[in-house]
Each structure stands twice: as C-alpha cells, then as structure tokens.
Amino acid sequence: MPKLAYLCFDVVPAPKGAAIHIAAFTQALAQWCGSVQFVSVAPTLEISPTVERWPGVIHTALPTSGKTLIDRVITFRQRLEQWLVGQWFDVIHVRSMYEGFPIALQKSKYCQALILEVNGLPSIELKYRYPRVADDRELMHKLIAQEDLCLEQADRVLTVSQVTRDYLIQRGVSPTKIQVIANGVNLDFFPYQASQLDPESLHLLYFGTLSAWQGVDLAVEALGLFCRDFPATLTVVGPAKPKQVRVLTKLATKLGVDKRLNILEPLSQSDLCLQMHTADVILAPLKPNDRNCTQGCCPLKVLEGMASGTPVITSDLPVVRELGMSDTHFLAVHPGSAKAIKDGLLRLRAHPELGMQLSQNARSQITQQFTWQQATHKLIDCYQTLLESCD
C-alpha cells in the first residue's frame, strides 16, 4: 500500500470547521490504505507523544513558538523538516503554504507526488486577522510567491468550491489538476429534528469562529432590529478572543439587546447539536468580501445547519448557491444587510410552514449530496488516479 503523510498548520482536534474536515480526510485515507502519518500543530508548547489519533492515523503534534504568526510558522517548518529527515512518501498532502512550502522547495527529496488543499489563502485571509498585513507589500509579495510555488509544484490541487477553482485558474493553475470536493456532514453526529418554530419568542443561533468574514456582527444587528417588534434571543457558540466578545457585547448594549445575547465557549458536538435543535433559526450571515466572493469557501455551518433540521438564514453568495436553492433549502438574503436577515426572520415567523419545508428539503439535500462519505469517496478516487499516473 502507498505510504502517505498528511501535514497541516492547524491544531487538531479543535472546535473549528478545518479540524472537522481534516479528521474526515485523514480517517478516510487511513481506512483506505491502512495508515497515514498525520502532522499538525500542538495545542501547547510542550512536545506531545505520537499517538494513534484515530484508527490508522498516526498523529504527531509539533509545538510552535514565537510572538508572531511568522515566528510560529518558521518554528513549525523547522520542526517539520526535522521530522521528515530520513522519510519518503508516495504522497504528501498539505493544506497551505505554511507547511507546504518546504515540501514544494524539495519535492523529490520527500515524496513522489504532492497534493495541495486550498481551503484558504494567507494572501487573502491574513488581513482580516492582522489588518496591517494589507499594507505590507513585501510580506504580501512573499505570501503570494510561496503560494504560487506550492500551486506550481502540486500534482493535484483540491478545493471546496467552484468559486475557489475559478480563482485558482485566474492565478495560473491548470484546470486539469484542480478537483473540487465540497465539505460534508457526518449524519450520525447531526441527527435530524423537524423544525418546531416558536413564533412567540424566536431563539436564534450562530456557531463557529468570530472571524470578520463570518458576519456575526450582522446577526447581532438583526437581533436588534427584530426585537423592536418581537422578542428573540441570540446564542453565539464558538472560540472567541476577549476582544471579540467585548466588541459584540458593546454592539448588543448599544442596540439594547445585551440581555438577549448569550455567548458560549465551544461545545462538544453532541451539545452543539442540542443547541441547534433548541434553536428556531440558525444564522450564517457571511459577508460579501474577497474571502467569501473571490477566494471562495464551503461554509460548513450552512451544511451542518441544513442537516440538523433547523431552518438556516444565510447570505445570497455564489459559494452558498453551490449548496442549494434559496426558499427551498435555506433562506439566502441580501449579503451584508442586517435588515435582510430581520426580514427573513419575519418571513419564518409569519409562515411556520416555510420553516418545515426548508427543514425537510435541507436534510434531503445533505443526505443526497453533502456527506463526508461522499466527499472522501472523491478524495480516494483522486489518490488512486494520481498514483496510477505516477506508476
């Protein structure tokens, strides 16, 4: 069987969509070929022992250190190169240029074939976390150059949406080596519960990171607008920095809904599912910016929300339209507009039967097109085709 390595500059396990995606892919690869060497970022500065994270997934977590992201990337690359000494793989699979660049520089030294996943590009996403990056021309030049080398050296480029595929083609990547594999849902973890919307007091839910492109502030603003006429609450679940919590709380206070906003730390998958079933509406108000509209994404929160049976209100963006149809599988409203979200809430409140239709149709859509089993089947097909071409 082929010898595989899956490398990522991510902490795994973690309450993030990336970690869920990584877990699904590594487990599928191990099930297919017997085992896979999996390297990620350690959650602490301490060196963790290598463990069998999941059946056949041999997990090594490398600690990173340094005050800045660049420092941490450099230390991770150094430790990754130490880990790679004396090893050679049929396929190395990377998720970004952070861990992929050292491999791309000396591909033949480390592997026969290189697979690059493009879920997000630092040249686009970093500025949302570090605003000064956008004005640092030297850094942006280095980011793009390292991304380009990884894209050039990769034998296959996997991505999660047609929007991202189109962007990569604009960047010069050959269409023949790009494969789109959308995210999925594990239906065992997200049992279906039919919509039971309570028009007397809507309970709204947002779950996920509080990154600027997610539009959580729009959800709070929509809560403020809706509560001018009808009672509602909003629960926000996910990893958050103290500053992010302060900003949201300040906004809620300004709008007079601070007592109606509940911010929770990340929950276990079972507890999150309970929150989803308790909610009347799930909000996924993605903003219309270059991260979502140029680079693209495959919003896992929309897919998981659809699977749960709770109606989803999201943004009318191309990446969302790849997942289903508005008014059939979810309500896709004008992006960047809290008023549009509020209007969607009013529709669901006035027409409970619409919520029931969305609930049933959404679950059916996920079952037919967006399970991890379907996604990983495409992944294994990609590996088999690639390895056959290398023989």
Q: Is residue 87 part of a domain?
A: yes
> DSSP 3-state assignment of 338?
helix
What CATH number does residue 242 fall under? 3.40.50.2000
Q: Is residue 192 part of a domain?
A: no
CA dihedral (301, 129, 256, 254) in degrees, to 10, reads -160
pTM of the full structure: 0.95
Q: Are 259 and 136 part of one and the same domain? A: no
Tokens of 249: 């709380």
Q: Is residue 344 part of a domain?
A: yes
Q: Is residue 148 part of a domain?
A: yes
| Confidence grade of residue 15 (pLDDT, cut at 50, 70, 90) | confident
Q: Are 150 and 241 part of one and the same domain? A: no
Check whether the bond before 43 is cis (ω within 30° of 0). no
Q: Are 238 and 348 part of one and the same domain? A: yes
Domain count, the chain: 2
Q: Are 207 and 100 part of one and the same domain? A: no
Q: Are 109 and 57 part of one and the same domain? A: yes
Q: Is residue 197 part of a domain?
A: no
Q: What is the DSSP string of 181-228?
A: ----B-TTTS--------TTSEEEEEES---GGG-HHHHHHHHHHHTT
Q: Nearest CA to 293 among 180, 129, 151, 167? A: 167
Q: Going by C-beta distance under 8 Å and a sequence separation of 6 or more, which residues neighbour residue 106? A: none
Q: Read off the pLDDT of residues 289-339 as tens digits, 9 standing for 90 and up.
A: 999 999 999 999 999 999 999 999 999 999 999 999 999 999 999 999 999
**Overall average pLDDT of the 7-20 stretch:** 93
Q: Which amino acid is at 80?
A: L
Q: Is residue 264 part of a domain?
A: yes
The DSSP call for residue 235 is: E
Helix segments in the chain, DSSP class H: 17-33, 69-84, 97-105, 107-110, 122-129, 137-153, 162-170, 216-226, 242-254, 269-278, 290, 300-308, 318-321, 338-350, 352-369, 372-390
Q: Are 61 and 124 part of one and the same domain? A: yes
| Confidence grade of residue 359 (pLDDT, cut at 50, 70, 90) | very high
Q: Which amino acid is at 9?
A: F
Q: Is residue 177 part of a domain?
A: yes
Q: Are 377 and 317 part of one and the same domain? A: no
Q: Read off the pLDDT of residues 248-262 as tens digits, 9 standing for 90 and up.
A: 999 999 999 999 999
Q: Are 219 and 270 part of one and the same domain? A: yes
Q: Is residue 194 part of a domain?
A: no
Q: What is the DSSP string of 141-192?
A: HHHHHHHHHHHHH-SEEEES-HHHHHHHHHTT--GGGEEE----B-TTTS--
Domain of residue 48: give its range: 4-184+371-390
> DSSP 3-state assignment of 340?
helix
Q: Are 178 and 324 part of one and the same domain? A: no
Q: Are 254 and 338 part of one and the same domain? A: yes
Q: Read off the pLDDT of residues 182-222 as tens digits, 9 standing for 90 and up.
A: 999 999 999 999 999 888 899 999 999 999 999 999 999 99
Q: Are 340 and 379 part of one and the same domain? A: no
HSE, CB side, 13 Å, CA atoms: give it for residue 187.
Answer: 15
Q: Are 278 and 378 part of one and the same domain? A: no
